[in-house]
Amino acid sequence: MSDLEIVERLSAGRLSRRELLSALAAVGVGTVMLPARRALAQSGDEATLFTWSGYEIEGLHGGYNKKHGVFPEFTFFADEDEAFQKMLAGFTPDVPHPCSYNVGRWREAGLLQPIDTSRLSNWGDVISSLKDIDGTQFDGQQFFVPFDWGNTSILYRTDLVELEEESWSLMWDERYSGRLATFGSIDETVPYAAIYAGVDPYNMSDEDLKKVRELLRKQRPLIRFYASDETTIEQALAAGEIVAGSTWNGSVAALAAQGLPVAFLKPKEGIMTWVCGLTLHKDAPNIDKAYDLIDSMLSVEAGVTMLTEVGYGHANAKAFEKVDDATLEAVGLQRDVEAFLASGVFSRQFKNRDAVTAMFEEVKAGL
């Protein structure tokens, strides 16, 4: 993003905090540390949550504040690849917040330590199927505590799109050329392109990769922009700049609350399901407070905040007992959590991540 574009989008209110952080990093400004609201933590004294912007909401870790009198510290990343590179370069937060498909890669790089779940009072309330997600346990040890989960699909304006079928094909509909948006991350866009191509996103052969590349190449001229976060897509949909964009189910409630006519697609080829969670950095400087932070984020109170204010699913099964069906439906969730989680194409680690990354970056560059 050029300096001029940064200024223009910031002035227009279309530059999200994640994009601003990415832009600052690009010009040499390092990781931005934001202290908690209300009672301020002294830098280095409290547990640090390394996460996306938006998870600093008080209700998601209020138990930590009650115990220690302050909020934890927050450090934000634009995407998990950026977080990975910063930690490889020596940044040592206490609690990084990746999605499940990145845990194995981060562990193999020597960035994580196992988590002693006996130190978490809320572990017993965690949804059973989320405790042993593939690629999050190694040698009988837990390296990942599930926290938030949901779907990736297409959010579209029902007043601007003539939907012919519930299909990922909408992201290749030439009628809406220049009015579509998608994420610029391989973990978000490449999988649905592979699903639409009829191949396994996470176990692609060279021939499969060629099919997906061709689809993404055809999609590129139809895309108005590649987004680094859901806020940018939400704002563009609200303004009518785009008519549809791939995003997460939390965006449904955000736009519906503004009175906008939107719907979240249920693709016939399969919706994408993701689970993100909490890990412990190998050299976490505040290990005891890190456990306090993780436990507070697993609480029923945090779960209710996640469901009602953020719009994603939460790991604590008891939180669903505190929320009515209408609230769940508004954010694209359902009370039968196990059925919901089993209904989608579950996000996993790419077999050939380097090749997939190189392919998508070439496509975005127009090569």
Q: In whole angstroms, what is the distance from residue 135 CA to residue 84 CA?
A: 17
How do the residues of the chain divide into helix, strand and coil, expressed in percent and rounded to 5?
Answer: 45, 20, 40
CA-CA distance, 141 to 151, in Å (whole number)?
Answer: 27
| Residue 271: per-residue pLDDT | 93
* CA dist., res. 289 & res. 273, Å (int): 31
Contacts of 82 (CB under 8 A, 6+ apart): 22, 25
CA angle 30, 35, 40 (to 5 degrees): 150
Kindly give, in sequence order, each residue whose CB lies less than 8 Å from that of residue 335, ignoring residues fewer than 6 positions away: 320, 325, 328
CA separation for the pair 123, 117 (Å, rounded): 7
Q: What is the pLDDT of residue 329?
A: 84
CATH 3.40.190.10 residue ranges for the chain: 3-149+274-341, 150-273+348-364
Q: In the 8-state DSSP scheme, what is residue 69?
A: S
**Contact criterion met (CB below 8 Å) for 303 and 112:** no
Give pLDDT, residue 344: 87
Long-range contacts of 202-210 (CB under 8 A, 24+ apart): 202/101, 202/348, 202/349, 202/350, 202/351, 203/351, 204/350, 204/351, 204/352, 204/356, 209/352, 209/355, 209/356, 209/359
Query: What pLDDT is recorded for position 339?
Result: 85
3-149+274-341 — its CATH code?
3.40.190.10
- Give the model's pLDDT for residue 274: 94
How crowded is the C-beta side of 244, counted as CA atoms within 13 Å? 25
Say how far apart CA 216 and CA 188 lie, in whole Å. 13
The CATH number given to 150-273+348-364 is 3.40.190.10
Spatial separation of the C-alpha atoms in residues 313 and 303, rounded to whole Å? 8
Instruction: Quote the CA–CA distance of 54 and 202 in Å, as a whole number.
Output: 28
User: 266-291, pLDDT tens digit by residue?
Assistant: 999 999 999 999 999 999 999 999 99
Residue 238: its pLDDT value, please? 97
Phi and psi at residue 190, in whole multiples of 5°?
-60, -40
Q: Using 50 as the pLDDT threshold, list the residues of the chain that sit under it.
A: 1-42
Two structure tokens written together for 30: 């390092």
- Sorted by sequence, the CB contacts under 8 Å of residue 358 that are 6+ apart come out as none
Report the DSSP beta bridge partners of residue 50. Answer: 75, 96
Map residue 145 onto helix, strand or coil.
strand
pTM for this model (two decimals): 0.82
